[in-house]
């Protein structure tokens, strides 16, 4: 039996978008289908050669996988916090300036690769992904619009990454820092933790809100690695292997 026009269109869309997106399209929904939602720690920016290698790997992986980057605040954020210690800013001004610092990190990191494109909304984000490029969010516009975070320093960009990972229904969360992951008191790397175990751990790798948000992302793996270790990054993004790092996942 010959297919009608609607069936032919459905088959074309199914080949182009896949089963998950087909369901979203029929229900009037968009889905970004993000393979890796990656937090770029602001501390990485001080290592220019490291950022060159990292950005090149991200651009290479982004041609085959759907990768979205989320920035930290870095040195600009640290300056704002030290300024606040000397001259007390209002909570609103402190919040706004630290969020805008994350936008600056996004812009600075995007300068390393043409394929890394700064975006401030999800429509542009999807357009960049569909071109096989890597969007890096400038999150202030989204955060100011949604207003989901208290105006304090308790919830850092690490926790904000998890908040947006939950909204965007990503497959994997990667937190890239300038350290290998979460350590024991004896300075040994912990390869695997549950959110409940992380709550009980005395550590300074992530903020106090982070373990609570880990529970909310469900079964999504959260992988903390050293973004300046090129081989570790390549093994994860190109081969799907975690050779060094901490994975946090509900068990």
Q: C-alpha distances in angstroms, 132 versus 34, 68, 112, 116? A: 12, 11, 17, 10
> Mean pLDDT, to the nearest integer, of 188-207?
90
| Closest by Cα among 115, 34, 110, 45 to 73 | 45
- What's the token pair of residue 185? 């008191």
- What confidence tier does 5 reach under pLDDT thresholds 50, 70, 90? low
Of the candidates 158, 145, 150, the residue with the CA atom closest to the CA atom of residue 72: 158
Specify the pLDDT at position 27: 59
> By the 8 A CB rule, do 173 and 165 touch?
yes
Report how far residue 237's alpha carbon sits from residue 240's, in angstroms, rounded to the nearest whole number: 6
Top-ranked range on mean pLDDT: pick from 5-9, 77-81, 200-204: 77-81
**Res. 21 pLDDT band, cuts 50 70 90:** low
3-state DSSP assignment of residue 172: strand
Residue 144: C-alpha distances to residues 88, 99, 141, 159, 168 (Å): 21, 9, 5, 16, 17
3-class SS at 156?
coil
Mean pLDDT of the chain: 89
Please spell the DSSP secondary structure of 116-156, one letter per residue: EEEESSHHHHHHHHHTT-EEEE-THHHHHHH--S-SSSSS-
Phi, psi for residue 84 in degrees, rounded to 5: -65, -35
> Residue 13 above 50 pLDDT?
no
Predicted confidence at residue 217, as pLDDT, reads 87
pTM here is: 0.88
Which residues share a beta bridge with 21? none
Domains identified in the chain and CATH numbers: 32-174+227-242 (3.40.1160.10)
Enter the tokens of residue 127.
């357009």
Residue 59 has pLDDT above 80, yes or no: yes
**Is the pLDDT reported for residue 9 higher than 60?**
no
| % of the chain at pLDDT higher than 70 | 88
What does residue 37 show for φ and ψ, rounded to 5 degrees? -105, 110
Mean pLDDT of 46-54: 97
At 220-249, the pLDDT tens digits run 999 999 999 999 999 999 999 999 999 999
- Does the pLDDT of residue 160 top 50, yes or no? yes
CA distance 169 to 100: 25
pLDDT of residue 6: 55
Given this model, what pLDDT does residue 150 score?
A: 79
Q: What is the pLDDT of residues 92-133, one digit of tens each?
A: 999 999 999 999 999 999 999 999 999 999 999 999 999 999
Instruction: Indicate whether 154 pLDDT > 90.
Output: no
Beta strands 172-177 and 192-193 are: unpaired
């Amino acid at each position: 039996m010959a297919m009608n026009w609607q069936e032919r269109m459905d088959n074309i869309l199914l080949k182009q978008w896949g089963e998950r997106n087909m369901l979203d399209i029929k229900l009037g929904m968009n889905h970004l289908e993000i393979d890796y939602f990656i937090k770029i720690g602001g501390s990485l920016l001080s290592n220019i050669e490291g950022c060159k290698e990292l950005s090149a790997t991200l651009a290479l992986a982004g041609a085959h996988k759907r990768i979205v980057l989320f920035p930290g605040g870095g040195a600009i954020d640290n300056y704002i916090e030290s300024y606040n210690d000397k001259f007390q800013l209002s909570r609103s001004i402190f919040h706004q300036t630290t969020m805008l610092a994350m936008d600056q990190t996004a812009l600075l990191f995007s300068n390393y690769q043409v394929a890394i494109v700064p975006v401030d909304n999800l429509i542009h984000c999807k357009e960049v992904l569909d071109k096989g490029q890597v969007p890096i969010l400038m999150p202030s516009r989204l955060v100011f619009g949604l207003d989901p975070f208290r105006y304090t320093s308790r919830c850092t960009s690490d926790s904000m990454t998890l908040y947006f990972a939950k909204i965007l229904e990503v497959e994997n969360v990667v937190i890239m820092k300038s350290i290998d992951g979460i350590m024991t008191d004896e300075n040994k790397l912990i390869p695997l933790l549950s959110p409940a175990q992380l709550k009980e751990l005395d550590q300074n790798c992530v903020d106090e809100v982070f373990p609570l948000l880990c529970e909310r992302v469900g079964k999504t793996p959260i992988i903390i690695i050293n973004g300046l270790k090129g081989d570790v990054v390549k093994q994860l993004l190109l081969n799907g292997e975690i050779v060094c790092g901490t994975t946090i996942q509900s068990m």
